[in-house]
Amino acid sequence: MENQNFAGVTNCRNRISRYGGKFIAVCAFTFLLLPALFLQAVEAQDIFIFAEDEVIIRSVRFNGSETFSDGVLRNVIETEKSPPRFARWLNTRISDKIGRPTNYFDVYQTGEDISRLTSFYESNGFFNVSVDTSLAINFERNYVRVAFDIEEGVRWIVKDVEYSGFDELDSLVIEEIMDDPELEPDIPYQENLAEREYQRILDILYNNGYAKAQIENVSVNYARNEPEAFVSMGFDPGERFTFGEVSMALEEDRGYSISSRIIDRMLVYETGETYSLAKRTQSERNLNRLGIFESAKIDIRIPTADDTSRSIPSVVNIRPRSKHEITPEILVNDENNAFNIGLGVGYSNRNFLGGARILTLRSRFRVQSIQELQLARVLNENGWQDPSLLGAIDIGAEITQPYFITTRTSGRWGVSYVLEKQPYIQYSLLRNRIGVNHQFASTTYGFLDWTLERVSPRTLDDEVSPEEIDQQLPPDRRFEEPQFNSIIAFTLQRDRTDDVFSPTNGYFHSGTIEEAGLLPVLFRYIGESLPYSQYVKATFTGRWYYSLDTRRNNILGLRLKTGFATLYSSDNDTPIPYHRRFFAGGSGSVRGWKSRGLGPQDDRGAIGGRAIIEGNIETRTNILRHLGEFPIDYSKLWGVLFLDFGNVWARGSDIRPQEIALATGFGLRYDTLIGPIRFDFGFKLFDPDQPEHRQWLFDRPFFKDLSFHFGIGHAF
């Protein structure tokens, strides 16, 4: 008993345990003496009691479960703890559109939950499981605590797995089936593993020509004396088929022709080849990846039993997109680890010169860190040179070649002009880039880029003369000289996260190697007329996401970024250009600092560095999900706590652990169709640039170093 207010505790076995309440004495009496009367009379009494009195569910717990967590078991049952009192009050007293309604104890639902839990355990090999309920009822306060008492028993182990129906299969197909099974001996029996196993075998059959393959039976036999399970699976592969004739159907005419050669290139199968569901699916993906179709689908017609044909014809149904399209843009992103907003316009010419090529023209203008913009000062005093006005203008053109050597490889060629302004410096960038993308696997991509760029920096400090900029710059500001660079970069990327905008599980890894200076070395006359930098740069970024509960209301996110760059020629000391250096601080970095506010600085702003270590630890909790949907959907509102660390150093040899900055803070996220809207408040927990007695947050005025960040999308 919880306290003296409890009138009693029921502990009836199986279904009888569901009928408690004010008639505990009647239940006990009828259980012992009148079981027939109990089945007829007590049920009516309980329906009356719970309909009349409505007992609130204060808690739901599980006793005796050693294999599965409470979170897993809560997903099995429907009985649920009542929401917090405030959420219930909002729902009943203010509006049914806000808060959450009260959850009352339902005797029938609890009985069904016993069956659900029993089935769940049996499907995981606990064939002798016993599930009861215990109810602790407080009549004064009108609530009940529900407990499911579980005796798991022994878990059955798979002793053997037998297959039938493979007598007529090709030996190579049988070998593939027997390789790496999902269900194998000496592991605990799990029904979901059995389902995955027979689906794996069906997929193998579908991909080896057996388009009509089906499973005939799955049976599990149990040993009487030992906890051993014998699993048998029977299959009917049917006839083996090949791909037949391929035809194309145009669902809508957009006024331009689609060559059949485009379709043929994207198909990974040919007429007469053994039928494969995987190849059909991959061909559909290739067609939809082209970018010139609104939709592309491959329909097949499998011969009926009366048809003696062993070939499967396919029809490629395509709906082209408009050939010419002008698209206005509203830009919202976190480039440079700052909130950017801007406008743009783009033009697309699809199937440009045939071959499914796409020509894209674009013009964009963005303002960075708009929350710090001093508009009155910009308009009335300093104009363009005001340090609070940051942003960029970008004009460019790009041609995309979707098919380059293979269907998994595409090519790009683009030219662009960028004018970007940062505090006290602006630079113009004329760039020509040729790139190749390759899909190594469904989640693994490689990117190879060769870039020729002319960068022309210019200081915005009126006290510095052009002569000083060009001839007398200190070594750490030599990047303000014009450069012409040839840069080769290769990026390998693997994305195993479960959501593009708001991942809750999985990981993302990306590594880039960048080299500059090879082309001018090979063609000496280029380097004689234009200064160029010779450097090697490597960057790694990793992100990991973990759900801390089965309902994914609590997410742990981790991020680590490391980078290193160095000049490699003893005869060339031209520094790494400004826009290719490492910077730290900002909304996607160490959030106690503003964008580019951490790392090497001088009186004219950030100068960046050649080495970076940066990391983030963040918890995201769906804190107000019980409050309903008025005036917002609170299930989409998340609270965030974070701890960030990192810094940038001028050289790798300068890295010191005691110089790693720490930041902490909190934030809010609200999920939208374009990603979560983000608000973060960051504090400098440890500032290595301060005197020793003022480095920690508690040694300084608390709100003095507060940084506010706003953006679209998670910080990482």
Residue 298 belongs to domain spanning: 242-320
Q: Are residues 226 and 311 in the same domain?
A: no
pLDDT reported for residue 13: 32
More confident residue, 521 or 648: 648
Give the pLDDT of residue 642: 97
**In a 3-state reduction of DSSP, which class is residue 435?**
strand
The residue that leads in pLDDT, 85 or 604, is 85
Residue 466 has pLDDT above 50, yes or no: no
Q: How confident is the model at residue 73, as a pLDDT?
A: 94
Q: Is the pLDDT of residue 11 over 80?
A: no
pLDDT over threshold 70, residue 149: yes
Q: Is the pLDDT of residue 649 over 90?
A: yes
- 117 and 131 in contact (C-beta within 8 Å)? yes
| Interval 295-335: pLDDT, tens | 999 999 999 888 888 999 999 999 999 999 999 999 888 88
Burial-class residue 654 by CB neighbours within 10 Å (0-12, 13-18, 19+): middle
The reply to whether 99 and 207 lie within a common domain is no
182 and 143 in a common domain: no
CATH of the domain at 461: 2.40.160.50
Assess whether 229 and 285 both reside in one domain: no
Q: Is 712 within 8 Å of 332 (Cβ atoms)?
A: yes
pLDDT of residue 477: 66
Count of alpha carbons within 13 Å of 6, Cβ hemisphere only? 11
Rounded to an integer, what distance in angstroms lies between the CA atom of residue 390 and that of residue 596? Answer: 12
Residue 120, both tokens: 């769940």
Q: What is the CATH number of the domain that holds 30?
A: 3.10.20.310
Task: Mark whether 537 and 392 lie in a shared domain.
Answer: yes
Do 270 and 176 share a structural domain?
Answer: no
Query: Of 288, 320, 352, which residue constitutes the final position of a domain?
Result: 320
267 & 400 share domain: no
In a 3-state reduction of DSSP, which class is residue 600? coil
What does the radius of gyration of the chain's CA atoms come to, in whole angstroms? 33
**Position 714 pLDDT exceeds 60:** yes
pLDDT digits (tens, 9 = 90+) for 125-134: 999 999 999 9
Whole-number pLDDT of residue 525: 60
pLDDT value at residue 528: 60
Residues 282 and 347 both lie in one domain: no
State the DSSP code for 402.
Answer: S
pTM for the model: 0.79
Return the percentage of the chain with pLDDT > 90, whole number.
Answer: 58
* Cα distance between residue 440 and residue 499, in whole Å: 20
Residue 476: per-residue pLDDT = 58
Same domain? For 473 and 351 the reply is yes
User: Is residue 214 domain-shared with residue 264, that is, in the same domain?
Assistant: no
Of 18-22, 639-643, 697-701, highest mean pLDDT: 639-643
Give a yes or no: residue 1 inside a domain: no
CB-based contact 15:111 (threshold 8 Å)? yes
Q: Total domain count for the chain? A: 4
pLDDT at 258: 87
Same domain? For 590 and 671 the reply is yes
d(CA 343, CA 14): 65
Same domain, 616 and 684: yes
Residue 366 has pLDDT above 50, yes or no: yes
Which contacts of 438-445 are long-range, i.e. CB under 8 A and separated by 24 or more positions? Answer: 438/406, 438/408, 438/409, 439/408, 439/409, 440/408, 443/494, 443/495, 443/496, 444/492, 444/493, 444/494, 445/492, 445/493, 445/494, 445/495
H or E element that contains 613: strand 611-621
Does residue 130 lie in a domain region? yes
